[in-house]
Amino acid sequence: MSSIAIKGVRKAYAKNAVVHGVDLDIASGEFIVILGPSGCGKSTLLRMIAGLEEITGGEIWIDGKLVNKMEPRERGCAMVFQNYALYPHMTVAENIGYALKVAGVPKAERAARVAATAKVVGLEAFLDRRPAALSGGQRQRVAMGRAIVREPKVFLFDEPLSNLDAKLRVAMRAEIRRLHRRLGATSVFVTHDQTEAMTLGDRLIVMNGGRIEQVGTPAEVYNRPATRFVANFVGSPAMNLMEGEIDRHGIFTLDAARRIAIPNAIESRLVGHKVTLGVRAEAARLVAPEAPGALPATVDFVEELGAGRVVHTDLGGVSFAVAISDPVAPGTGEPVGILIDPADVHLFAQDDGRRIDLAAPQAALDPAA
């Protein structure tokens, strides 16, 4: 197992910067997921760790060694790609053992290690088959087996499940997690799929525009998003976001009919400030339009999810989703009330999108602080 330290790493193609000074420490044996939209720099960062992309600036340390100038084969990393990149003319056993063959490992030792690896990834019965005779999930296991057989210090996964169907992706997520627990190697997994990220990672690294927006456990990222971007990107449906102003009574005002009292807003010097208010769909409740404290809204459409449903409403011109478990949902166009507990509210500054912590608000909004 090996730790990874990334210090001020930058990447630019000509004058186009794509990664802007990333700092990150990954503990030995940790499973890290780098999450973000397409083009945010997550795969580029992974390839720089692997040595497949040259670093424009900064340092990368693996197992206490500076690897900036090291060749990929010298870094002790094994990479699993989005496309399986298997040799079609070779059997499963030959594909898994090819790196050992190139490295000059004796045939008997090579066969033993291939057999042991095939058992780990559940391919003992397929060693004589060629890739064309395998399913997508089996091919991905071959790709993982090819990485495992090298006994690397670090596993790097570049969106390895993107080409699989939904059911197979769920099964492969479980297999990857079990594999990590069994091997205990340091793993870095890149994905744009938040479900993969939440279920696989010990910690999430949320990236946007070549920068890290937040680092934290899945629960921390979901329950306390550090920025408006994270709040909107992590979660299905995305967090409801509304822009308004805190009045002199410490009340968030969307419009005359839709107001939410914010605890500590007056003491927090938020009065007069425009902010973005966020609420998770499962934190809001549907009630009768005339219920005390309810925000008046109109049902736009209902999204059926099997065990539950998401009611999408029009809240004064703002789209607002509410997750419900009731077997009967209100119909399109029906007036409803939305009840929000102030304790479930998230606030973000409108200028830079950073989270406003009401426990220590001056640093967020007071320039003198």
Domains of the chain, earliest start first:
4-230 (3.40.50.300), 240-365 (2.40.50.140)
Residue 363 has pLDDT above 50, yes or no: no
23-48, pLDDT tens digit by residue?
A: 999 999 999 999 999 999 999 999 99
The pLDDT value given to residue 249 = 83
What mean pLDDT is predicted for residues 127-138? 91
Residue 254 has pLDDT above 70, yes or no: yes
The pLDDT value given to residue 327 = 80
Beta bridge partners of 6: 24, 60
Residue 369 has pLDDT above 50, yes or no: no
CA dist 51 and 69 (Å) reads: 8
For residue 367, name the pLDDT band (cuts at 50, 70, 90): very low
Residue 126 has pLDDT above 70, yes or no: yes
What mean pLDDT is predicted for residues 161-166? 81
The pLDDT value given to residue 120 = 84
For residue 8, name the pLDDT band (cuts at 50, 70, 90): very high
The conformational region for residue 76 under phi > 0 = left, psi -120 to 50 = alpha, else beta, is: left
Residue 63 has pLDDT above 80, yes or no: yes
For residue 359, name the pLDDT band (cuts at 50, 70, 90): low
The pLDDT value given to residue 267 = 64
The pLDDT value given to residue 266 = 67
Residue 360 has pLDDT above 80, yes or no: no
Percentage, residues of the chain above pLDDT 90: 60
The pLDDT value given to residue 365 = 44
What mean pLDDT is predicted for residues 321-337? 90
Q: Are 322 and 298 in contact (CB under 8 A)?
A: no
Residue 228 has pLDDT above 70, yes or no: yes
CA dist 286 and 194 (Å) reads: 26
Percentage, residues of the chain above pLDDT 70: 96
The pLDDT value given to residue 328 = 80
Q: Are 188 and 49 in contact (CB under 8 A)?
A: yes
Q: What's the whole-model pTM score? A: 0.87
Residue 261 has pLDDT above 70, yes or no: yes
For residue 176, name the pLDDT band (cuts at 50, 70, 90): confident
The pLDDT value given to residue 271 = 84
More confident residue, 166 or 100: 100
Average pLDDT of every residue of the chain: 89
Give the other-Cβ count within 10 Å of 249's Cβ. 12
Residue 284 has pLDDT above 80, yes or no: yes
CA dist 186 and 39 (Å) reads: 25
Residue 325 has pLDDT above 70, yes or no: yes
Residue 255 has pLDDT above 60, yes or no: yes
Kindly report each contact of residues 116-122 with a partner whose C-beta sits within 8 Å and lies 24 or more positions away, as own/partner: 117/145, 117/148, 117/149, 118/92, 118/93, 118/145, 120/145, 120/148, 120/179, 120/182, 120/183, 121/145, 121/148, 121/175, 121/179, 122/175
The pLDDT value given to residue 361 = 42
The pLDDT value given to residue 205 = 97
Peptide bond into 237 cis (omega under 30): yes
Among 22, 10, 58, which residue's Cα sits nearest to residue 188? 22
